[in-house]
Amino acid sequence: MDELRVDHLSFTVQEGVSILHGVSFLVEAGTFGVLVGPSGAGKTTTLNLIAGFQRAAAGNVTLGGTSMNDVPPERRDIAMVFENYVLYPHKTVRQNLEFPLRSPNRQQDLSRAEIAERIDQVASTLRVEKLMERFPSQLSGGQRQRVSLGRALVRRPRLLLLDEPISHLDAKLRHEMRTELRRIQRDLGVTTLYATPDQADALALADWAIVLEGGRVLQAGPPRQLYLTPAHLRVAQMLGDPKISIMPGVVGPSSGLTVLGKRYDLDAPADAEQESRPVLVGVRPGAVEVRVAPDDSADGTVVLHQYLGYGTALHVDVRGIMVRALVEGRSPVKVDDKVSVTLETGGLLLFDPDTGSLIAHQEVTPWHG
């Protein structure tokens, strides 16, 4: 098993435009890394540089302790699966799986028995054994995707790169494939880097998530750590559904926080600030309490009510700021209701309004002064 190390990768296109600005991260041997970021963040570019399909302006890619910089792509032993999977339409599933093992630039020569054994193993891991004699046109979208993954895996690569492999599948299939991918990766123990714009993929799949935006790594770590203590406002906004609410607030003096027109006490002031300073307050939907209130004490109006099964998401317009709440069960609150909005005791994030960096992760209690 091989560890993937990416050090200060930069990439510039002809016109001198920088696409990646010193991207660094590590995916430990045999683990599942997820590169998550919006469209245009530089995910595909990063994968292409790792695979060797494009050349970096600067930086290093190291696989299992060996620098890949001077290794041509076909010798890197890296497999990449794209969103638009390519299967040979006139070959059966078995022939499609065989092909990578027979191609002329293979280093090692495998016997017929070895080839058959590898194909059987991959077919069983991917659960396509019963489809071996079919042609791609006779497969569903999910089955085709499994076979294209199989084509990458029969070679037993040292590293598996997946570029949005399930984005085009419908929601139900996407959910199934997400679970399957994780199982397959565990079964095979292959070091994997998976690129996706979908935050749910990152939270559900990653041993280690790398948040990329504008060609820069904003933060990397276990998904839970990124969710609970995002280093940057953008990380907080990217992870979680319903999304975190961000609202302007003022901290201080004497460890008070004023947000949405109410005052709260911070449990552990970062420093005993005498001056008040503006902050951006991030609150996860589970920590927002919404109650129907008489007009004169209401903070805002409910604009959206989404029943999610496990709970209800309420979107409240508080004087132009959108506050999202997640309440258990089926909320009696309706669209157009006038409501009070209170931040419950619990996790609350304070960000620097100029840089977006996390200032503090705080517990708050409503102030009864």
Distance CA 156, CA 307 (A): 44
- Tokens 């999304």, residue located: 243
Q: Choose between 44 and 125: whose C-beta lies nearer to Mg ion.
A: 44
Give me the least distance between CB of 43 and ligand ADP, in Å please.
3
CB-nearest residue to Mg ion:
44
Distance CA 181, CA 40 (A): 24
| 22 neighbors 7 (Cβ within 8 angstroms) | no
Give me the least distance between CB of 206 and ligand ADP, in Å please.
16
Q: Choose between 46 and 185: whose C-beta lies nearer to Mg ion.
A: 46
Does position 37 bind ligand ADP by CB under 6 A? yes
Mask: binding to ligand ADP, 5-24, rule CB under 6 A, as x and -?
A: --------x-----x-----
Gap between the terminal Cα atoms of the chain: 60
Number of residues interacting with Mg ion: please give it, by CB under 5 A: 2
Mask: binding to ligand ADP, 44-63, rule CB under 6 A, as x and -?
A: xx------------------
Contact region for Mg ion (CB under 5 A) — 35-43, 67-75, 101-109, 152-160? 35-43
Per DSSP, the three-state class of 73 is helix
Distance CA 274, CA 253 (A): 5
Distance CA 58, CA 226 (A): 28
Residue 90: name the closest of 137, 151, 139, 148 by CA: 137
| 149 neighbors 139 (Cβ within 8 angstroms) | no
Give me the least distance between CB of 37 and ligand ADP, in Å please.
6
**Which option in ligand ADP, Mg ion, none does residue 81 bind, with CB closer than 5 to 8 A by kind?**
none
* Of positions 34, 36, 41, 318, contacts ligand ADP by CB under 6 A: 41
Give me the least distance between CB of 181 and Mg ion, in Å please.
17
Got the DSSP string for 120-167? HHHHHHTT-GGGTT--GGGS-HHHHHHHHHHHHHTT--SEEEEESTTT
Q: Choose between 40 and 253: whose C-beta lies nearer to ligand ADP.
A: 40
CA distances (Å), origin 302, targets 73, 87, 94, 321, 340: 54, 49, 56, 12, 10
**Which option in ligand ADP, Mg ion, none does residue 348 bind, with CB closer than 5 to 8 A by kind?**
none
Give me the least distance between CB of 215 and ligand ADP, in Å please.
7
**Which option in ligand ADP, Mg ion, none does residue 42 bind, with CB closer than 5 to 8 A by kind?**
ligand ADP
Give me the least distance between CB of 104 and Mg ion, in Å please.
30
Distance CA 231, CA 191 (A): 26
**Which option in Mg ion, ligand ADP, none does residue 37 bind, with CB closer than 5 to 8 A by kind?**
ligand ADP
Give me the least distance between CB of 18 and ligand ADP, in Å please.
9
Does position 40 bind ligand ADP by CB under 6 A? yes
**Which option in Mg ion, ligand ADP, none does residue 221 bind, with CB closer than 5 to 8 A by kind?**
none
Which DSSP category does 309 fall into?
S
Give me the least distance between CB of 282 and ligand ADP, in Å please.
24
Q: Choose between 40 and 366: whose C-beta lies nearer to Mg ion.
A: 40
Residue 245 phi/psi, 5° resolution?
Answer: -95, 140
Does position 234 bind ligand ADP by CB under 6 A? no
Task: Considering only residues 237 through 276, tell me which ones interact with ligand ADP, judged by CB under 6 A.
Answer: none
The CB density around residue 134, as the number of other CB atoms within 10 Å, is 15
Q: Choose between 211 and 358: whose C-beta lies nearer to ligand ADP.
A: 211
| 234 neighbors 356 (Cβ within 8 angstroms) | yes
Q: Choose between 45 and 199: whose C-beta lies nearer to ligand ADP.
A: 45
CA distances (Å), origin 241, targets 9, 46, 59, 283: 31, 26, 35, 12
Question: By the criterion CB under 5 A, which residues form the site for Mg ion?
Answer: 43-44
Question: By the criterion CB under 6 A, which residues form the site for ligand ADP?
Answer: 13, 19, 37, 39-45
